Structure 1
Amino acid sequence: MKKKFPIDEHQKLALNGTTLDIRIRGTQEDNPVLLFLHGGPGVCDRHFVLEDQAPLADICTLVCFDQRGSGKSYTREQAAQHMDTELVLGDAIALIDWLRERFHQEKIYLAGHSYGSYLGVRLCQRIPEKIAAYIGTGQLANGAENERISYEFVWNEATKRGDQKALDALKKIGAPIDGFYRSLDDLTVQRNLMTKFGGAAHGKKENMIQSMVLPILRSPEYTLLDIAGYAKGAYYNLRELWREVISSKFDQSVKQLDVPVYIMAGRHDRNTPPEIAKPWFDALDAPKKEWIWFEQSAHSPIREEKDKWNEAIRTRVFEQ
């Protein structure tokens, strides 16, 4: 039997000129609020978070939202419009203000995964007075370097394994130039191979269908109609936002954040390689900061080592 939550809400909120689909779960109205920023762009993760992070609901209120043009927030009208990260950041700030008022909290805790870590850092720059702490998982620090190292990983793994089919596919798409492939289809080829070789989830032989699509199909959070919108929204978000995200260079532009910073890093991450984010983090000026390694994880320790991730939130961030 599924655990019942005293606070268990599903809302559609009109914020910042769009409608965002929100899920809230918790046990006490006066608990601190932890807002999750999903990755992608456009790859919503509430179906994981509401299940895997449920043990944290006794100490904080969990909030997930499908970002503009993503998942349950996708509409054909939105997909016909241009979108940039300024709009997405504005949405997040509006939601943070709504949550502060709804739960009578001065500040909100932020957890950003992958692309969500890009949003998280920018929000910490923009509204530090409204953020209690920032937790980055699969932390982005330099988009072009991410893509260079990720491509090299796949090439080296294919060579080591004698996977000629993978090598042929990599030759066809070519290495990224300044972080960019010639098309989103080429990017998808590389991500599929990276996932196959364990750069997304450590020790698992999965493709993107197995790791991303099947969990959505099995989740009660999304209907079949929602899933159709999810797929369209993921492509729309990539098309609109990817160039802006991969052009980011936090290692050069972000030297200080005025909030506590916690980075949850998978040792085997080849999507956002930690050897890029760690030097940035080491040089970062913040009131408090902590880097936490997850030895059995790649890109998503929040799922791959969910118990350890949850324990780190409980003991390191909330100090309970």
Structure 2
Amino acid sequence: MAVGVVLVAVGVARPARTEPVVGSDGRAVAGGIAELTSVRVGDHDFGLMIRGVDAGAPVLLYVPGAPAGSEIGAMRRHLPELERHFVVATWERRGGGKSFGAFEPRATFTAEDEVRSTIGVTEYLRKRFGRERIYLVAHSGGSMVSVLTLQRRPELFQAYIGVGQAVDLAAADLSQYQDTLAWARRTGRTALAEQLTGLGPPPYADGYSYEPMLVNENQAFAYDRSRNSEGVSGFAESLGVPEYSLLDQAHAIGGVVDAYDALYPRMQDIDFRAQVPRLQVPVYFVNGAHEVPGRVRLLAEWNAVLQAPHKEIVTFGTSGHRPQFEQPAEFVELVKRVLAETRG
């Protein structure tokens, strides 16, 4: 027993680290950057992984999807090629992973606070690397926060790539609820159908009531993932990288649950179709062909009325809600194209 306790304690205390950026010869690249750091915005300290072959390259900020999202592992496992073209800053959102300590106070966990934090991290990167504008890539719920940031401070950004772009959470969830309930009834999942019927259609006052939909999403909207880099378990497949201590891993999982409950119900009145008719930067949206249909439909409706210097929707053929990690080679090629088309 004592030996087990010691081993657990050592594992938790094991410091996280990120390896140097190496070239084709396996040696550390002179002038490269590879670090785990933190940045203070307001009253909170946020974890940040910054990596790139050339510290003078364009800067790209990656904003994870879920509240308290943590994608350091997935970025290191699936998208190291981006480091050849950008200084890639992967942000740990408030309450998750290395930003777990920023969760409290719960009362301030709002969309407005998330926007302020995104601006603060962006300003840090601009100042540190001497860039007037940076590239912004965001996923899912992080894409909603990022669009609100773009709307407020467009001068900070060179271009935007929204992956699994959120548009209207309430409308998307209602559509997903209806599809999931129909699937449960069609496939004889009586207990799930009764649970969903008992909850009634969303939106809900707490984050935990969304669990039946979220837990069953991969089955209700199943597709063949055998050709993809990332599988059905999503970000959890990439927790075993040296950038995470065991404590970081626990925070990456547990933080999402509490943050979802705190933030998600407070974002139900956002609808970009009505509230964001215009963006002043080039925008590129990335969907997987197997994305939940309601989300795809809402993006198409917003894109139809959105005014921007450039806008397009790109669809990857074998992926779903996480195409950047499911089809990383295709995603890197897209980001390289965005760089070529927008670099000043």
State if a TM-score over 0.5 links the two structures. Answer: yes
> Using a 3 Å threshold, how does the CA distance of structure 1 residues 37 and 163 change in structure 2: closer, same or farther?
same
CA distance in 2, matches of 1:77, 1:291: 34
User: Structure 1 unaligned runs (5+)?
Assistant: none
**CA-CA distance at 1:314 after TM superposition:** 1.1
More divergent stretch after superposition (62-71 vs 190-199): 190-199
2:203 corresponds to 1:186: no
User: Structure 2 unaligned runs (5+)?
Assistant: 1-18, 23-28
Larger Rg: 2
Residues 73 and 239, structure 2, Cα contact 8 Å, conserved in 1: no
Q: Match for 1:18: what amino acid?
A: H
1:160-199 mapped onto 2 (5 Å cutoff): 160-176=186-202, 180-181=203-204, 183-198=206-221
SS in 1 for 2:242: coil
Equivalent residue for 2:26? none
Residues 257 and 285, structure 1, Cα contact 8 Å, conserved in 2: yes
**CA-CA distance at 1:236 after TM superposition:** 2.9
CA distance in 2, matches of 1:231, 1:55: 26
> Using a 3 Å threshold, how does the CA distance of structure 1 residues 216 and 157 change in structure 2: closer, same or farther?
same
Equivalent residue for 1:277? 299
Q: Match for 1:12: what amino acid?
A: S
Q: How many percent of aligned residue pairs carry the same amino acid?
A: 27
TM-score (norm 1): 0.89
1:73-222 mapped onto 2 (5 Å cutoff): 73-75=99-101, 78=104, 82-176=108-202, 180-181=203-204, 183-198=206-221, 202-204=223-225, 211-212=233-234, 214-222=236-244
Q: Match for 1:57: what amino acid?
A: E
> Using a 3 Å threshold, how does the CA distance of structure 1 residues 73 and 155 change in structure 2: closer, same or farther?
same
SS in 2 for 1:35: strand
> Using a 3 Å threshold, how does the CA distance of structure 1 residues 38 and 316 change in structure 2: closer, same or farther?
same
SS in 1 for 2:98: helix
> Using a 3 Å threshold, how does the CA distance of structure 1 residues 253 and 81 change in structure 2: closer, same or farther?
closer
Equivalent residue for 1:304? 326
CA distance in 1, matches of 2:59, 2:165: 21
**CA-CA distance at 1:269 after TM superposition:** 1.3
Residues 73 and 240, structure 2, Cα contact 8 Å, conserved in 1: no
Residues 166 and 193, structure 1, Cα contact 8 Å, conserved in 2: no
> Using a 3 Å threshold, how does the CA distance of structure 1 residues 160 and 219 change in structure 2: closer, same or farther?
farther
**CA-CA distance at 1:272 after TM superposition:** 6.2
Instruction: Give the RMSD, CA atoms, in angstroms.
Output: 2.5
SS in 1 for 2:50: strand
Runs of 4+ in 1 over 3 A off after TM superposition: 79-82, 316-320
More divergent stretch after superposition (140-149 vs 183-192): 183-192
**CA-CA distance at 1:121 after TM superposition:** 0.6
**CA-CA distance at 1:119 after TM superposition:** 1.1
CA distance in 1, matches of 2:109, 2:218: 28
Residue number among 264, 268, 271 corresponding to 2:286 in the alignment: 264
CA distance in 1, matches of 2:308, 2:287: 18
SS in 2 for 1:48: helix
Equivalent residue for 2:15? none
More divergent stretch after superposition (252-261 vs 281-290): 281-290
Pairs aligned (count): 312
Residues 140 and 272, structure 1, Cα contact 8 Å, conserved in 2: no
Equivalent residue for 2:249? 227
Instruction: Encode CA deviations 1:6-48: one digit per residue, 9 max, x unaligned.
Output: 2101112222221111100101121111101111112211211
Q: Match for 1:181: what amino acid?
A: Y
Q: Match for 1:248: what amino acid?
A: I
Equivalent residue for 2:64? 38
> Using a 3 Å threshold, how does the CA distance of structure 1 residues 77 and 84 change in structure 2: closer, same or farther?
closer
